Amino acid sequence: MSHLGERVSALVDGELNHHERDRALSHLAFCADCRAEVDAVRALKSRLRSLDGPAMPTDLTMSLLRMAEPGGPLPPRERPFPASRTFGGAPIPSMYSVAPPDNRPRSRVQGPRRPRRAGYVAVGVASAAVAIGTLFVVGGADSNPRVVPPVDMFANQHRNTAPYGGSATPTFSPTP
């Protein structure tokens, strides 16, 4: 009898019928290799059963909770290609069948809802302030040139102009 091979796992799992199990056990009585393999498989399965189930990822939980918001869950994503394509009976993984890695910042997905709303309000207020400030600055800017009156020249002209003195152009002496 050849070695047990793939039947080792079925033997350990108790999935062999009575006749197959008798033949396997008779083989194990004379084959040390197969006994060692059965022992290894049994130990591995025992180890796996002792392990806890995988924990639900928090981000996946939050995503599911968001889907429960008013408005109902998001519709299932329509795949452009049928997912039932198989090769040799086994399904072929497509580009949409594998979820993309979640690289979002943990703080965004783990934060409570109130700070998130406060953030939205802050962004809105800041945007409004920038818009109003822009309108305020643009509305106040004047295209006319900025001038500083030459007050010394004006004062000199005032002091040296005789009221009702006629159209003679007054002569100005330099202001010290």
Kindly report the number of other CB atoms within 10 A of residue 62's CB atom.
Answer: 15
For residue 89, give Cα distances in angstroms to 67, 85, 92, 98. 34, 9, 9, 19
Residue 71, Ramachandran bin (φ over 0: left; ψ between -120 and 50: alpha; else beta): left
Q: How far apart are CA 66 and CA 62, in angstroms?
A: 6
150 binds another protein, rule: CB under 8 A: yes
Q: N- to C-terminal Cα distance for the chain?
A: 128
Of the listed pieces 6-14, 24-32, 65-73, 166-174, which binds another protein according to CB under 8 A?
A: 166-174
152 binds another protein, rule: CB under 8 A: no
Q: 107-146: which residues touch another protein (CB under 8 A)?
A: 132, 134-140, 142, 144-146
* Minimal distance, residue 115 CB to another protein, in Å: 32
Radius of gyration of the chain, Cα coordinates, nearest whole angstrom: 44
Instruction: Give 100 or 176: the residue with its C-beta nearer to another protein.
Output: 176
User: Are the CB atoms for 8 and 25 separated by under 8 Å?
Assistant: no
**H/E stretch holding 87:** strand 86-87
Instruction: Give 25 or 153: the residue with its C-beta nearer to another protein.
Output: 153
Instruction: Give 98 or 138: the residue with its C-beta nearer to another protein.
Output: 138
* Minimal distance, residue 123 CB to another protein, in Å: 21
Instruction: Give 88 or 174: the residue with its C-beta nearer to another protein.
Output: 174
What type of residue sits at position 36?
A: A
Instruction: Give 3 or 159: the residue with its C-beta nearer to another protein.
Output: 159
| Contacting residues toward another protein, per CB under 8 A | 132, 134-140, 142, 144-151, 153-155, 157-168, 170-171, 173, 175-176
